[in-house]
Structures are given as C-alpha cells and as structure tokens.
Amino acid sequence: MLTEHPLKILVVDDDFVNNKLLCQQLQTAGHQVVNQAYNGKQAIEMTKSLNPDIVLMDMQMKNPDTGEIDIQAGIKASRLIQEQCPTPIVIISAHKDPTLIKEANKAGVGAYLIKPSNLDEIERTIAIAMTRFNDLMEVRRLNKELQNEISRRVKSEKIIKFMATHDPLTSLPNRWLFNDRMNQEIAHAKRNQQKLGVIFLEIVQKILTTVSEPLTINEQAVQITSSIGIAIYPHDGEKANELIKNADSAMYYIKKHGRNNYHYYNADAE
C-alpha cells in the first residue's frame, strides 16, 4: 500500500465484471470499497452522500437515461463532482487519446489510468491522484487567504485615505482635501483660460441654509448673519494658498464694514 492508511474508495464502472474485479484488487490491497456505482449520475450522488477518500471511475459508460454509450461519461461526472463536492478522482480507460486525457485534466481528474492494469499500477495512480488533489486544495486555500488579505488591505487603505482627507469628528472634507481639489480646479481653469472664484464664509454654508430663519433661545430672538469674502483666479492669486489668504482677507474686510454681506478681494482696499 503506497498510501499512509487504507482509503475509502468509490468504484464506478458500468461493466459489472470490471467493477467487481477492481473492487477485489482494492480490497486485496487493504482498502475499503464504500460502494459501487454503474453510471455517472450514481457516482455523483454517492460521492456526495458517502464522502469517499477517492473515486475510481471508468471514462466510457452508458447514459442511464438514454442507454447510449458516452465516451466522456466519466469526465462529465468528474466535472460535476469537483463543482459540488471536490474529491480526488482517477479515470480508468482503455483510450489513450491525448484529447480525452486533456479533457479529463480540465475536469479536475487527478490521474489517468490505462486499463487493463495491475494492482501496483492502480496503487501508484491512486497515490498520484491523492497528492495532486491535496496540492490543489492547498493552492486554493492559499489563494483564498491571499484574496482575503488583499480585501483587508484595500479596506484599510480606504479607511486611512478617508481619515487623511476628512475631519474625524464630522466626517466632512478637511483642509488637505480642499487644497488638493483647489489645485485641481486651478489647473483646470488655467488649461481652459477660465476664471475661478474662491468664496470664504464666516460660518459653514450648510448651517446657514439649514438655520436661515431667526432662532428663539430662552425667549430671546437670535439672528444668524454671514460675512463672505471672495477671491478670483488668476487676478487675486494663481496658487491655492494665495486665493485662500485673499478670500479670508476679503471676509474680514466685510466683517469690519457692517457684516452680513459679501466683498470681492481688492488689494488696494484690504
């Protein structure tokens, strides 16, 4: 026995004599034949219900519904088994057609055994199929771990990027993001020979919109006012920090001259 311990094996062959002979060979080697199937449909059902260590399946079998010979019956069943309940599979066949062997490999078959075959050949083929299957499962496990790690890192990077560009308390865009977008808009205006305005508000515009009516607090009427400073690219500055500085100056100018109004930046007046 080439395997470390006896295996639970499902034998699939529509020829009763061949099926029985293969079962005897496997039992002689110390393995346990969990059941015998005689077509691909039975093979799929038994694999799902019995969970064998490996399936030994003839490639050419009759279609149970039509009674016609299907040269790829074992390959088709193998493909469905790998999709529904991945299990090591050995295809047994008298056919040496490279095309069929290639199709068997694509269907997830671990090894291909040409019959007639003796016990030593069967044992070696089983060992090969088991090794290939275990290697495949390990690759799939590692790929899944890798995908999970990639997803985790992508999520972490998104969180870090958001934290770097947004206020942690309000989740609103911060000054860094504003400067970045400002530089983009300046570049766009420069390319298209357009003007760009920067408006500085004393308080957040969203709050002004929401609380536009006078408030009553402790029977005291409270009126919200706004002072707005405006700087225009490129006349009032060609860089983001210049525009921000001048819009800020314009805002403070209007605060000194009555508030609740707006003012365009004027270098002579500031």
Instruction: Print the SS3 string covering 152-217.
Output: HHHHHHHHHHHHHHECCCCCCECHHHHHHHHHHHHHHHHHCCCCEEEEEECCCHHHHHHCCCCEEE
255: confidence class by pLDDT, cuts 50, 70, 90: confident
pLDDT per residue over 99-116, tens digit each?
Answer: 999 999 999 999 999 988
Nearest by Cα to 246 from 255, 235, 256, 257: 235
Domain range annotation of the chain: 8-141, 175-264
> Do 24 and 72 touch, CB atoms closer than 8 A?
no
- Looking at domain 175-264, its CATH class is alpha beta
Upstream peptide bond of 88 is cis (omega within 30 degrees of 0): no
- Looking at domain 8-141, its CATH class is alpha beta
pLDDT per residue over 169-204, tens digit each?
Answer: 788 888 888 889 989 999 999 999 998 887 766 553
